[in-house]
Structure 1
Amino acid sequence: MSVVLAATHHDPDGRLYQQMVRTFTALKLYFDGIAVLLTPTSVPMTRSWLERAEIALKVAPMNEPIGHLHLGRWRRGAVEVALQAFPTAEWFLFCDLDRVLHWIEYWPDELRIMLDDLSAADVTVFGRTPRALATHPQAQVATESLVNEVFRRTTGQAWDVMAAARGLSRRAATLITTASRDDSIGADCTWLLLAQQSGLTLTYRATEGLEFETLDRYTDEVAVLGSAQAWRDRFDADPRNWLMRIDLARTAIAALIENR
Protein backbone atom coordinates (compact mmCIF):
# COMPACT_ATOMS: atom_id res chain seq x y z
CA MET A 1 0.00 0.00 0.00
CA SER A 2 1.54 3.32 -1.09
CA VAL A 3 0.90 6.36 1.11
CA VAL A 4 1.72 9.96 0.19
CA LEU A 5 1.72 12.94 2.54
CA ALA A 6 -0.14 16.02 1.29
CA ALA A 7 0.69 19.03 3.46
CA THR A 8 0.33 22.77 3.63
CA HIS A 9 3.13 24.79 5.19
CA HIS A 10 3.24 28.39 6.43
CA ASP A 11 6.34 29.59 8.26
CA PRO A 12 6.73 33.36 7.81
CA ASP A 13 9.13 33.81 10.73
CA GLY A 14 11.16 30.62 10.41
CA ARG A 15 10.13 29.28 13.80
CA LEU A 16 9.40 25.83 12.35
CA TYR A 17 12.64 25.58 10.38
CA GLN A 18 14.76 23.70 12.93
CA GLN A 19 12.04 21.17 13.69
CA MET A 20 11.49 20.60 9.98
CA VAL A 21 15.20 19.96 9.38
CA ARG A 22 15.44 17.77 12.48
CA THR A 23 12.49 15.48 11.68
CA PHE A 24 12.21 15.42 7.89
CA THR A 25 14.48 12.42 7.35
CA ALA A 26 12.26 10.34 9.62
CA LEU A 27 9.16 11.73 7.94
CA LYS A 28 10.35 10.60 4.51
CA LEU A 29 10.75 7.05 5.80
CA TYR A 30 7.05 6.93 6.66
CA PHE A 31 5.76 7.92 3.22
CA ASP A 32 6.22 6.85 -0.38
CA GLY A 33 6.14 10.51 -1.35
CA ILE A 34 5.62 13.96 0.14
CA ALA A 35 3.83 16.91 -1.48
CA VAL A 36 3.92 20.35 0.14
CA LEU A 37 1.99 23.47 -0.81
CA LEU A 38 4.06 26.32 0.62
CA THR A 39 2.91 29.87 1.26
CA PRO A 40 4.92 32.50 -0.65
CA THR A 41 5.47 34.46 2.57
CA SER A 42 7.34 31.61 4.26
CA VAL A 43 10.96 32.53 4.96
CA PRO A 44 13.39 31.98 2.05
CA MET A 45 15.48 29.45 3.98
CA THR A 46 12.43 27.20 4.35
CA ARG A 47 11.70 27.36 0.64
CA SER A 48 15.34 26.72 -0.26
CA TRP A 49 15.57 23.75 2.07
CA LEU A 50 12.35 22.16 0.79
CA GLU A 51 13.50 22.66 -2.81
CA ARG A 52 16.46 20.40 -2.00
CA ALA A 53 14.44 17.85 -0.02
CA GLU A 54 13.44 15.65 -2.99
CA ILE A 55 9.72 16.19 -2.53
CA ALA A 56 6.94 17.60 -4.69
CA LEU A 57 6.93 21.28 -3.74
CA LYS A 58 4.60 23.96 -5.02
CA VAL A 59 4.93 27.57 -3.90
CA ALA A 60 1.64 29.42 -4.14
CA PRO A 61 1.51 32.77 -5.97
CA MET A 62 1.92 35.98 -3.99
CA ASN A 63 -1.72 36.97 -4.48
CA GLU A 64 -3.05 33.77 -2.88
CA PRO A 65 -5.06 34.73 0.25
CA ILE A 66 -3.58 33.40 3.49
CA GLY A 67 -5.28 32.89 6.82
CA HIS A 68 -7.58 30.66 8.79
CA LEU A 69 -10.63 31.65 6.76
CA HIS A 70 -8.95 30.39 3.56
CA LEU A 71 -7.76 27.05 4.92
CA GLY A 72 -10.11 24.97 2.79
CA ARG A 73 -8.58 26.41 -0.37
CA TRP A 74 -5.05 25.64 0.83
CA ARG A 75 -5.84 22.15 2.04
CA ARG A 76 -7.61 21.25 -1.18
CA GLY A 77 -4.63 22.64 -3.07
CA ALA A 78 -2.19 20.45 -1.16
CA VAL A 79 -4.22 17.35 -2.00
CA GLU A 80 -4.25 18.40 -5.66
CA VAL A 81 -0.45 18.77 -5.68
CA ALA A 82 -0.13 15.27 -4.24
CA LEU A 83 -2.53 13.74 -6.75
CA GLN A 84 -0.70 15.28 -9.69
CA ALA A 85 2.81 14.55 -8.44
CA PHE A 86 2.12 10.93 -7.50
CA PRO A 87 -0.30 9.54 -10.11
CA THR A 88 -0.01 5.94 -8.90
CA ALA A 89 -0.38 6.61 -5.17
CA GLU A 90 -3.26 4.71 -3.61
CA TRP A 91 -3.60 6.50 -0.26
CA PHE A 92 -2.91 9.96 1.12
CA LEU A 93 -2.54 11.56 4.51
CA PHE A 94 -3.55 15.19 4.47
CA CYS A 95 -2.07 17.04 7.44
CA ASP A 96 -0.67 20.53 7.93
CA LEU A 97 3.10 20.17 8.07
CA ASP A 98 3.50 21.63 11.56
CA ARG A 99 1.11 19.02 12.94
CA VAL A 100 2.72 16.04 11.23
CA LEU A 101 6.20 17.21 12.26
CA HIS A 102 5.04 17.19 15.88
CA TRP A 103 3.32 13.84 15.40
CA ILE A 104 6.40 12.08 14.05
CA GLU A 105 8.72 13.65 16.62
CA TYR A 106 6.68 12.84 19.71
CA TRP A 107 4.32 10.02 18.72
CA PRO A 108 6.08 8.15 15.87
CA ASP A 109 4.74 4.71 16.74
CA GLU A 110 1.17 5.97 16.75
CA LEU A 111 1.65 7.66 13.38
CA ARG A 112 2.93 4.39 11.90
CA ILE A 113 -0.08 2.49 13.24
CA MET A 114 -2.49 5.06 11.82
CA LEU A 115 -0.84 5.00 8.39
CA ASP A 116 -0.91 1.21 8.28
CA ASP A 117 -4.68 1.31 8.86
CA LEU A 118 -5.61 3.88 6.19
CA SER A 119 -7.21 1.26 3.96
CA ALA A 120 -10.00 0.71 6.51
CA ALA A 121 -12.10 3.41 4.79
CA ASP A 122 -12.04 5.93 1.96
CA VAL A 123 -11.81 8.72 4.54
CA THR A 124 -10.24 8.41 7.97
CA VAL A 125 -10.92 11.34 10.27
CA PHE A 126 -8.05 11.77 12.70
CA GLY A 127 -9.19 13.55 15.84
CA ARG A 128 -7.80 14.02 19.33
CA THR A 129 -8.17 12.03 22.51
CA PRO A 130 -9.58 13.99 25.47
CA ARG A 131 -6.03 14.37 26.77
CA ALA A 132 -4.70 15.64 23.43
CA LEU A 133 -7.56 18.12 23.03
CA ALA A 134 -7.00 19.43 26.56
CA THR A 135 -3.42 20.45 25.67
CA HIS A 136 -4.82 23.31 23.56
CA PRO A 137 -5.74 26.78 24.86
CA GLN A 138 -9.25 27.04 26.26
CA ALA A 139 -10.23 29.48 23.52
CA GLN A 140 -9.58 26.72 21.01
CA VAL A 141 -11.03 23.84 23.05
CA ALA A 142 -14.28 25.65 23.80
CA THR A 143 -14.97 26.82 20.26
CA GLU A 144 -13.86 23.66 18.45
CA SER A 145 -16.00 21.63 20.85
CA LEU A 146 -18.99 23.67 19.66
CA VAL A 147 -18.24 22.70 16.06
CA ASN A 148 -17.87 19.07 17.06
CA GLU A 149 -21.24 19.17 18.81
CA VAL A 150 -23.00 20.67 15.80
CA PHE A 151 -21.31 18.08 13.59
CA ARG A 152 -22.62 15.34 15.89
CA ARG A 153 -26.14 16.73 15.76
CA THR A 154 -25.94 17.03 11.96
CA THR A 155 -24.41 13.64 11.14
CA GLY A 156 -24.86 11.49 14.23
CA GLN A 157 -21.07 11.05 14.51
CA ALA A 158 -19.44 12.11 17.78
CA TRP A 159 -16.12 12.94 16.17
CA ASP A 160 -13.48 15.59 16.76
CA VAL A 161 -13.36 17.02 13.24
CA MET A 162 -11.28 20.17 13.76
CA ALA A 163 -7.77 18.69 13.91
CA ALA A 164 -7.74 18.75 10.08
CA ALA A 165 -5.87 15.49 9.53
CA ARG A 166 -7.47 13.11 7.04
CA GLY A 167 -6.62 9.76 5.54
CA LEU A 168 -7.87 9.65 1.95
CA SER A 169 -8.18 6.99 -0.70
CA ARG A 170 -7.31 8.19 -4.18
CA ARG A 171 -11.04 8.20 -4.94
CA ALA A 172 -11.72 10.43 -1.93
CA ALA A 173 -8.83 12.77 -2.75
CA THR A 174 -10.05 13.12 -6.34
CA LEU A 175 -13.58 13.83 -5.14
CA ILE A 176 -12.36 16.59 -2.84
CA THR A 177 -10.25 18.31 -5.48
CA THR A 178 -12.96 18.16 -8.15
CA ALA A 179 -16.18 18.65 -6.19
CA SER A 180 -15.41 20.65 -3.03
CA ARG A 181 -16.02 24.37 -3.34
CA ASP A 182 -15.49 25.27 0.30
CA ASP A 183 -12.48 27.57 0.58
CA SER A 184 -12.95 28.21 4.30
CA ILE A 185 -12.05 26.34 7.45
CA GLY A 186 -15.52 24.86 7.06
CA ALA A 187 -13.87 22.31 4.75
CA ASP A 188 -12.89 20.45 7.91
CA CYS A 189 -16.59 19.52 8.04
CA THR A 190 -17.78 19.77 4.45
CA TRP A 191 -15.20 17.36 3.02
CA LEU A 192 -16.78 14.75 5.27
CA LEU A 193 -20.32 15.64 4.21
CA LEU A 194 -19.27 15.46 0.56
CA ALA A 195 -17.69 12.04 1.04
CA GLN A 196 -20.73 10.76 2.90
CA GLN A 197 -23.17 12.10 0.30
CA SER A 198 -21.07 10.49 -2.46
CA GLY A 199 -21.28 7.04 -0.91
CA LEU A 200 -17.70 6.81 0.31
CA THR A 201 -16.83 5.00 3.53
CA LEU A 202 -15.68 6.98 6.57
CA THR A 203 -14.14 6.02 9.88
CA TYR A 204 -12.64 7.81 12.89
CA ARG A 205 -9.46 7.49 14.94
CA ALA A 206 -8.68 9.50 18.09
CA THR A 207 -4.96 10.24 18.41
CA GLU A 208 -2.49 11.51 20.98
CA GLY A 209 -0.15 12.92 18.34
CA LEU A 210 -2.53 15.68 17.28
CA GLU A 211 -2.02 17.39 20.62
CA PHE A 212 -1.20 21.13 20.67
CA GLU A 213 1.70 21.47 18.26
CA THR A 214 1.99 25.27 18.25
CA LEU A 215 4.22 25.31 21.32
CA ASP A 216 6.95 23.60 19.28
CA ARG A 217 7.67 26.94 17.63
CA TYR A 218 7.56 28.97 20.84
CA THR A 219 9.95 27.08 23.09
CA ASP A 220 11.77 30.34 23.83
CA GLU A 221 8.58 32.00 25.06
CA VAL A 222 7.59 28.94 27.10
CA ALA A 223 11.01 29.04 28.77
CA VAL A 224 10.60 32.71 29.70
CA LEU A 225 7.05 32.22 30.99
CA GLY A 226 8.02 29.11 32.92
CA SER A 227 5.62 26.50 31.53
CA ALA A 228 3.39 25.50 28.65
CA GLN A 229 0.37 26.24 30.82
CA ALA A 230 1.57 29.80 31.37
CA TRP A 231 1.82 30.25 27.59
CA ARG A 232 -1.72 28.93 27.14
CA ASP A 233 -2.99 31.17 29.93
CA ARG A 234 -1.46 34.20 28.23
CA PHE A 235 -3.13 33.21 24.95
CA ASP A 236 -6.50 32.83 26.65
CA ALA A 237 -6.14 36.15 28.47
CA ASP A 238 -6.29 38.04 25.16
CA PRO A 239 -9.95 38.50 24.12
CA ARG A 240 -8.87 38.90 20.50
CA ASN A 241 -7.86 35.24 20.45
CA TRP A 242 -11.33 34.28 21.63
CA LEU A 243 -12.89 36.46 18.94
CA MET A 244 -10.72 34.85 16.27
CA ARG A 245 -11.62 31.36 17.44
CA ILE A 246 -15.32 32.23 17.66
CA ASP A 247 -15.20 33.49 14.08
CA LEU A 248 -13.58 30.26 12.92
CA ALA A 249 -16.23 28.19 14.71
CA ARG A 250 -19.02 30.29 13.23
CA THR A 251 -17.55 29.80 9.75
CA ALA A 252 -17.35 26.02 10.19
CA ILE A 253 -20.88 25.75 11.58
CA ALA A 254 -22.27 27.93 8.79
CA ALA A 255 -20.61 25.65 6.23
CA LEU A 256 -22.16 22.63 7.93
CA ILE A 257 -25.61 24.17 7.71
CA GLU A 258 -25.17 25.17 4.07
CA ASN A 259 -23.89 21.77 2.93
CA ARG A 260 -25.88 19.28 5.01
Structure 2
Amino acid sequence: MIVHLLTIVHDQDGALLPEMKAYLQRASSIYNKIYIVISDETNDAVEAEARKNGLKTFRIPKKGAAFARRQALRLVFENSEAAATYHYCDFDRLLTWLEVGTAELKHTIETCPDVDYLLLGRTKQAFQSHPLEWQETEKWTNHLFSLAIGFEADVTAGSCIMSSRALKAIVAELPYSIGKMTDAEWPLLVKSKVKEAVIQAEFVNGLCYRERNRALEEDSVINWANRIKLSSFIAETILTHYYQGTSN
Protein backbone atom coordinates (compact mmCIF):
# COMPACT_ATOMS: atom_id res chain seq x y z
CA MET A 1 0.00 0.00 0.00
CA ILE A 2 1.28 3.46 -0.93
CA VAL A 3 0.94 5.79 2.06
CA HIS A 4 1.78 9.48 1.99
CA LEU A 5 2.09 11.63 5.10
CA LEU A 6 0.68 15.16 5.21
CA THR A 7 1.66 17.52 8.00
CA ILE A 8 1.81 21.22 8.86
CA VAL A 9 4.14 23.31 11.00
CA HIS A 10 4.44 26.85 12.34
CA ASP A 11 7.69 27.31 14.27
CA GLN A 12 9.10 30.83 14.28
CA ASP A 13 11.97 30.11 16.65
CA GLY A 14 13.00 26.70 15.37
CA ALA A 15 12.08 25.14 18.70
CA LEU A 16 11.31 21.80 17.03
CA LEU A 17 14.70 21.49 15.32
CA PRO A 18 16.36 19.29 17.99
CA GLU A 19 13.43 16.83 17.86
CA MET A 20 13.37 16.90 14.06
CA LYS A 21 17.05 15.93 14.04
CA ALA A 22 16.45 13.23 16.63
CA TYR A 23 13.27 11.59 15.34
CA LEU A 24 12.31 12.63 11.82
CA GLN A 25 14.53 10.12 10.03
CA ARG A 26 12.46 7.34 11.61
CA ALA A 27 9.51 8.35 9.43
CA SER A 28 11.33 7.52 6.19
CA SER A 29 10.84 3.79 6.73
CA ILE A 30 7.09 4.22 7.26
CA TYR A 31 5.89 6.43 4.41
CA ASN A 32 6.42 6.47 0.67
CA LYS A 33 6.43 10.27 0.64
CA ILE A 34 6.15 12.98 3.28
CA TYR A 35 4.70 16.41 2.50
CA ILE A 36 5.06 19.28 4.97
CA VAL A 37 3.28 22.63 4.69
CA ILE A 38 5.29 25.35 6.41
CA SER A 39 4.08 28.80 7.43
CA ASP A 40 5.93 31.72 5.89
CA GLU A 41 6.91 32.84 9.41
CA THR A 42 8.64 29.56 10.26
CA ASN A 43 12.39 29.55 10.80
CA ASP A 44 14.23 28.71 7.56
CA ALA A 45 16.26 26.06 9.39
CA VAL A 46 13.07 24.04 9.90
CA GLU A 47 12.49 23.82 6.15
CA ALA A 48 16.15 23.02 5.56
CA GLU A 49 16.02 20.15 8.07
CA ALA A 50 12.80 18.85 6.53
CA ARG A 51 14.38 18.77 3.07
CA LYS A 52 17.50 17.15 4.48
CA ASN A 53 15.27 14.29 5.64
CA GLY A 54 13.62 13.94 2.22
CA LEU A 55 10.37 15.79 2.91
CA LYS A 56 8.67 17.73 0.11
CA THR A 57 8.04 21.25 1.42
CA PHE A 58 5.49 23.94 0.62
CA ARG A 59 5.42 27.49 2.02
CA ILE A 60 2.09 29.17 2.71
CA PRO A 61 0.94 32.36 4.49
CA LYS A 62 0.26 31.99 8.19
CA LYS A 63 -3.53 32.13 8.47
CA GLY A 64 -4.26 29.61 11.21
CA ALA A 65 -4.36 25.83 11.54
CA ALA A 66 -7.57 25.30 9.56
CA PHE A 67 -6.18 27.20 6.57
CA ALA A 68 -2.90 25.29 6.74
CA ARG A 69 -4.63 21.90 6.96
CA ARG A 70 -6.83 22.67 3.97
CA GLN A 71 -3.84 23.89 1.97
CA ALA A 72 -2.00 20.67 2.86
CA LEU A 73 -4.80 18.58 1.37
CA ARG A 74 -5.02 20.74 -1.75
CA LEU A 75 -1.27 20.77 -2.39
CA VAL A 76 -0.87 17.04 -1.87
CA PHE A 77 -3.87 16.33 -4.07
CA GLU A 78 -2.24 18.38 -6.83
CA ASN A 79 1.22 16.87 -6.39
CA SER A 80 0.78 13.15 -5.66
CA GLU A 81 -0.51 10.07 -7.44
CA ALA A 82 -4.20 9.30 -7.06
CA ALA A 83 -3.73 5.71 -5.87
CA ALA A 84 -2.24 6.59 -2.51
CA THR A 85 -3.61 6.45 1.03
CA TYR A 86 -3.03 9.62 3.03
CA HIS A 87 -2.13 10.02 6.69
CA TYR A 88 -2.64 13.50 8.10
CA CYS A 89 -0.94 14.30 11.41
CA ASP A 90 -0.11 17.63 13.05
CA PHE A 91 3.68 17.95 13.06
CA ASP A 92 4.12 18.24 16.81
CA ARG A 93 1.92 15.13 17.21
CA LEU A 94 4.02 13.29 14.63
CA LEU A 95 7.27 14.05 16.48
CA THR A 96 5.76 12.84 19.75
CA TRP A 97 4.53 9.64 18.12
CA LEU A 98 7.97 9.03 16.57
CA GLU A 99 9.58 9.60 19.97
CA VAL A 100 7.36 7.41 22.12
CA GLY A 101 6.12 4.79 19.69
CA THR A 102 7.69 4.49 16.24
CA ALA A 103 6.80 0.79 16.21
CA GLU A 104 3.16 1.56 16.99
CA LEU A 105 3.05 4.21 14.25
CA LYS A 106 4.57 1.80 11.73
CA HIS A 107 2.09 -0.91 12.76
CA THR A 108 -0.84 1.54 12.50
CA ILE A 109 0.12 2.44 8.94
CA GLU A 110 0.91 -1.10 7.82
CA THR A 111 -2.30 -2.58 9.24
CA CYS A 112 -4.62 0.27 8.32
CA PRO A 113 -8.03 -1.14 7.38
CA ASP A 114 -9.40 -0.59 3.88
CA VAL A 115 -11.64 2.35 4.76
CA ASP A 116 -12.34 5.81 3.42
CA TYR A 117 -11.59 7.59 6.68
CA LEU A 118 -9.92 6.33 9.83
CA LEU A 119 -10.19 8.60 12.85
CA LEU A 120 -6.99 8.20 14.85
CA GLY A 121 -7.68 8.98 18.48
CA ARG A 122 -6.11 8.53 21.88
CA THR A 123 -6.30 5.61 24.25
CA LYS A 124 -7.50 6.42 27.76
CA GLN A 125 -3.91 6.58 28.94
CA ALA A 126 -2.87 8.94 26.12
CA PHE A 127 -5.91 11.16 26.63
CA GLN A 128 -5.26 11.48 30.35
CA SER A 129 -1.70 12.67 29.69
CA HIS A 130 -3.12 16.00 28.47
CA PRO A 131 -3.70 19.11 30.61
CA LEU A 132 -6.98 19.13 32.48
CA GLU A 133 -8.48 21.93 30.38
CA TRP A 134 -7.89 19.84 27.24
CA GLN A 135 -9.48 16.75 28.76
CA GLU A 136 -12.54 18.46 30.19
CA THR A 137 -13.41 20.36 27.01
CA GLU A 138 -12.45 17.73 24.43
CA LYS A 139 -14.36 14.90 26.09
CA TRP A 140 -17.63 16.75 25.41
CA THR A 141 -16.61 17.65 21.86
CA ASN A 142 -15.77 14.01 21.23
CA HIS A 143 -19.05 12.89 22.78
CA LEU A 144 -21.00 15.23 20.49
CA PHE A 145 -19.07 14.06 17.44
CA SER A 146 -19.57 10.41 18.39
CA LEU A 147 -23.33 10.98 18.50
CA ALA A 148 -23.21 12.60 15.06
CA ILE A 149 -21.01 9.95 13.41
CA GLY A 150 -22.72 6.99 15.08
CA PHE A 151 -19.84 5.37 16.98
CA GLU A 152 -17.26 6.25 19.63
CA ALA A 153 -14.42 8.37 18.26
CA ASP A 154 -11.78 10.86 19.33
CA VAL A 155 -11.93 13.60 16.70
CA THR A 156 -9.67 16.16 18.40
CA ALA A 157 -6.32 14.35 18.35
CA GLY A 158 -5.02 15.93 15.13
CA SER A 159 -4.56 12.76 13.08
CA CYS A 160 -6.49 10.70 10.52
CA ILE A 161 -6.01 8.39 7.54
CA MET A 162 -8.05 8.83 4.36
CA SER A 163 -8.46 7.12 1.02
CA SER A 164 -7.76 8.83 -2.29
CA ARG A 165 -11.47 9.19 -3.01
CA ALA A 166 -12.04 10.72 0.44
CA LEU A 167 -9.22 13.21 -0.17
CA LYS A 168 -10.71 14.08 -3.56
CA ALA A 169 -14.15 14.65 -2.01
CA ILE A 170 -12.78 16.94 0.70
CA VAL A 171 -10.66 18.94 -1.75
CA ALA A 172 -13.72 19.42 -3.97
CA GLU A 173 -15.46 21.09 -1.02
CA LEU A 174 -12.56 23.36 -0.02
CA PRO A 175 -14.00 26.45 -1.76
CA TYR A 176 -17.01 26.15 0.54
CA SER A 177 -15.15 25.22 3.74
CA ILE A 178 -15.32 28.18 6.09
CA GLY A 179 -15.32 26.51 9.50
CA LYS A 180 -12.68 27.65 11.99
CA MET A 181 -11.59 24.05 12.62
CA THR A 182 -11.35 21.02 10.33
CA ASP A 183 -11.30 18.19 12.90
CA ALA A 184 -14.95 17.22 12.51
CA GLU A 185 -15.46 18.81 9.11
CA TRP A 186 -13.42 16.27 7.14
CA PRO A 187 -14.99 13.00 8.35
CA LEU A 188 -18.50 14.45 8.16
CA LEU A 189 -17.82 15.66 4.61
CA VAL A 190 -16.68 12.17 3.67
CA LYS A 191 -19.79 10.71 5.26
CA SER A 192 -22.07 12.97 3.23
CA LYS A 193 -20.15 13.24 -0.06
CA VAL A 194 -18.58 9.79 -0.61
CA LYS A 195 -21.04 7.12 -1.71
CA GLU A 196 -21.20 4.27 0.82
CA ALA A 197 -18.24 5.73 2.70
CA VAL A 198 -16.62 3.47 5.28
CA ILE A 199 -15.52 5.43 8.35
CA GLN A 200 -13.96 3.88 11.44
CA ALA A 201 -12.03 4.86 14.56
CA GLU A 202 -8.84 3.56 16.13
CA PHE A 203 -7.16 4.52 19.41
CA VAL A 204 -3.39 4.73 19.90
CA ASN A 205 -0.90 5.55 22.65
CA GLY A 206 1.40 7.62 20.43
CA LEU A 207 -0.96 10.61 20.33
CA CYS A 208 -0.13 11.37 23.95
CA TYR A 209 0.87 14.76 25.33
CA ARG A 210 4.41 16.08 25.63
CA GLU A 211 5.73 19.60 26.22
CA ARG A 212 6.19 20.16 22.48
CA ASN A 213 2.41 19.77 22.09
CA ARG A 214 1.62 22.57 24.48
CA ALA A 215 -0.44 25.55 23.39
CA LEU A 216 -0.60 27.06 26.82
CA GLU A 217 -0.32 30.55 28.27
CA GLU A 218 0.86 31.18 31.80
CA ASP A 219 -2.62 32.39 32.76
CA SER A 220 -4.93 29.44 33.52
CA VAL A 221 -8.02 31.55 32.77
CA ILE A 222 -6.75 32.15 29.24
CA ASN A 223 -5.91 28.46 28.85
CA TRP A 224 -9.41 27.38 29.80
CA ALA A 225 -11.06 30.09 27.69
CA ASN A 226 -9.02 29.13 24.62
CA ARG A 227 -9.86 25.45 24.92
CA ILE A 228 -13.56 26.23 25.39
CA LYS A 229 -13.48 28.41 22.25
CA LEU A 230 -11.80 25.67 20.22
CA SER A 231 -14.39 23.15 21.37
CA SER A 232 -17.22 25.52 20.46
CA PHE A 233 -15.77 26.00 16.95
CA ILE A 234 -15.71 22.24 16.43
CA ALA A 235 -19.22 21.90 17.86
CA GLU A 236 -20.48 24.49 15.35
CA THR A 237 -18.92 22.49 12.52
CA ILE A 238 -20.50 19.27 13.77
CA LEU A 239 -23.95 20.85 13.86
CA THR A 240 -23.56 22.41 10.40
CA HIS A 241 -22.49 19.20 8.69
CA TYR A 242 -24.79 16.97 10.75
CA TYR A 243 -27.88 18.87 9.65
CA GLN A 244 -26.63 18.98 6.06
CA GLY A 245 -26.14 15.22 6.16
CA THR A 246 -29.56 14.48 7.60
CA SER A 247 -31.23 16.68 5.00
CA ASN A 248 -29.61 14.87 2.04
Partner of residue 232 from structure 2, selected from 219, 244, 250: 250
**Residue 152 in 1 paired to residue 152 in 2?**
no
Task: Name the structure 2 match of 1:37.
Answer: 37
Query: 1:217 and 1:248, CA in 2 relative to 1: closer, same or farther beyond 3 A?
Result: closer
Q: CA deviation at 1:216?
A: 3.7
Mean CA deviation greater in 7-16 or 83-92? 83-92
- The normalised TM-score by structure 2 is 0.89
Q: Map of 1:79-98 to 2, 5 A cutoff?
A: 79-98=73-92
Within the alignment, does 1:192 sit opposite 2:187 as a pair? yes
Q: Which of 131, 154, 157 is residue 137 of structure 1 equivalent to?
A: 131
Secondary structure, in 3 states, of the residue corresponding to 1:20?
Answer: helix
- Larger displacement relative to structure 2 (48-57 or 95-104): 48-57
User: For the residues of structure 2 that align with 1:241 and 1:217, how far apart are their CA atoms?
Assistant: 14
Q: Please give the alpha-carbon distance, in whole angstroms, between the structure 2 residues aligned to 1:211 and 1:102.
A: 7
| Alpha-carbon RMSD | 2.1
1:115 maps onto 2:109 in alignment: yes
Where has structure 1 moved over 4 Å in runs of 4 or more?
234-237
Q: Name whichever structure is richer in helix by fraction.
A: 1
* More deviation, 121-130/43-52: 43-52
Per the alignment, in what secondary structure is the counterpart of residue 187 of structure 1? coil
Q: Which of 38, 63, 66 is the matching residue for 1:65?
A: 63
Q: What is the match of residue 220 of structure 2?
A: 238
From the superposition, tell whether residues 18 and 184 of structure 1 become closer, same or farther in structure 2 (CA, over 3 Å): farther
Q: Deviations over 1:20-53 (max 9, x none)?
A: 1111211111100010100111112112222443
Report the Cα distance in structure 2 between the residues aligned to 1:4 and 1:131, rounded to whole angstroms. Answer: 28
Secondary structure of the 1:107 match is helix
SS at match of 2:153: coil
Could you tell me which residue of structure 2 aligns to residue 204 of structure 1? 201
The number of residues matched between the two structures is: 239
Could you list the runs of 5+ residues in structure 1 that have no partner in the other structure?
219-231
TM-score under structure 1 normalisation? 0.85
* Distance in 2 (alpha carbons) for counterparts of 1:13 and 1:185: 25
State the percentage of identical aligned residues: 23
Please, which of 162, 167, 170 is the counterpart of residue 164 of structure 2? Answer: 170
Q: How many angstroms apart in 1 are the aligned matches of 2:157 and 2:239?
A: 20
CA distance in 1, matches of 2:26, 2:199: 28
